[in-house]
């Protein structure tokens, strides 16, 4: 389906079990860079499970077993030296209901940066100790300890992220307002904004409009269109009209299996698999 140079995510023979229940069965898929890819199918078909595999969020749940390979940005995410912190920095996630933290808008946006910088500074402290030890031995070491972000850097990151999601004009004078008091549409945009300072390349969206009204849904969809190209977007949706409107390519799943993956227009107008046609025609699920 995709050229090697344009793949953001690749799975090969991916299987996943919750205990003894097999939720994913031999999933082989290539998700192309810079596009919006929709995951559709009836409830319980495995689409959210597949989405959560891409940043290993499934591992937060007990009794999960995974086999096969997932490559994100041409790296096997199950390699022993893969950092989950770095993976989830590169692959951000937005959930069904907006989930801003009950702190200020400003602190929501910089939260990820602060956490990442603390980890970086811890590494810097370890490096300082190494430099002192190396100096006593008469050795030299390249590089230097990491530093914390200045307030001006955080301010710039907040303005840039809120501008990108279309919130800066409305919230620039409300940065100290608690984020969970915002309108739902604004909360969901904020949840997207707080991913951006970490410079993700892939953004996963699990039914991001399910809690929103028509206007809120339209606003999030317009934001997705604006982000396409700069980011690879993968969206789970039960809304067939939304999948058709927003996605460049679409994946239809059924009972844990990937049934069809094609350009969205082709999948909806000329499905190759009878099961896809049955789902689109509303014969089940």
Which residue ranges form the domains of the chain, and what is each CATH number?
A: 1-94+202-208+232-285 (3.40.50.300)
Tell me, what's the pLDDT at 168? Answer: 97
Tell me, what's the pLDDT at 155? Answer: 92
What is the C-alpha separation between 76 and 251, in angstroms, rounded? 22
**pLDDT tens by residue, the chain, 285 residues:** 445 448 899 999 999 999 999 999 999 999 999 999 999 999 999 999 999 999 999 988 889 999 999 999 989 999 999 988 889 999 999 999 999 999 999 999 999 888 776 655 554 444 444 444 344 444 433 333 333 458 888 999 999 999 999 999 999 999 999 999 999 999 999 999 999 999 999 999 999 999 999 999 999 999 999 999 999 999 999 999 999 999 999 999 999 999 999 999 999 999 999 999 999 988 665
* Lookup: tokens for 218: 């339209």
Whose CA is closest to 104, among 149, 158, 148? 158
Percent of the chain that is helix, strand, coil (3-state, to 5) = 40, 25, 35
Query: Angle at Cα 93 formed by Cα 89 and Cα 99, nearest 5°?
Result: 115
| 54 within 8 A of 9, measured Cβ to Cβ | yes
Distances (CA, A) of 174 to 29, 141, 182: 43, 46, 10
Which phi and psi (to 5°) does residue 182 adopt? Answer: -75, 165
């Amino acid at each position: 389906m995709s050229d090697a140079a344009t793949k953001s995510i690749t799975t090969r023979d991916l299987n996943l079990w919750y205990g003894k229940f097999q939720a994913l069965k031999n999933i082989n898929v290539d998700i192309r860079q810079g596009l919006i890819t929709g995951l559709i199918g009836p409830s319980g078909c495995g689409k959210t499970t597949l989405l959560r595999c891409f940043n290993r969020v499934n591992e937060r749940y007990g009794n999960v077993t995974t086999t096969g390979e997932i490559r994100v940005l041409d790296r096997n995410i199950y390699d022993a030296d893969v950092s989950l912190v770095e993976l989830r920095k590169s692959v951000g996630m937005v959930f069904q209901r907006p989930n801003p933290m009950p702190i200020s808008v400003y602190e929501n946006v910089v939260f990820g940066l602060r956490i990442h910088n603390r980890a970086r500074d811890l590494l810097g402290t370890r490096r300082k100790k190494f430099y002192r030890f190396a100096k006593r031995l008469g050795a030299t070491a390249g590089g230097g300890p990491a530093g914390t972000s200045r307030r001006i850097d955080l301010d710039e990151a907040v303005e840039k992220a809120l501008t990108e999601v279309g919130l800066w004009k409305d919230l620039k004078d409300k940065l100290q307002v608690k984020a969970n008091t915002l309108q739902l549409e604004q909360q969901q945009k904020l949840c997207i904004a707080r991913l951006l300072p970490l410079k993700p390349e892939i953004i996963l969206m699990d039914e991001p409009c399910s809690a929103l009204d028509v206007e809120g849904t339209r606003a999030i969809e317009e934001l997705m269109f604006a982000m396409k190209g700069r980011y690879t977007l993968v969206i789970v949706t039960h809304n067939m009209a939304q999948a058709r409107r927003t996605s460049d390519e679409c994946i239809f799943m059924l009972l844990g299996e990937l049934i069809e993956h094609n350009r969205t227009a082709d999948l909806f107008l000329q499905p190759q698999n009878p099961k896809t046609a049955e789902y689109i025609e509303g014969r089940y699920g």
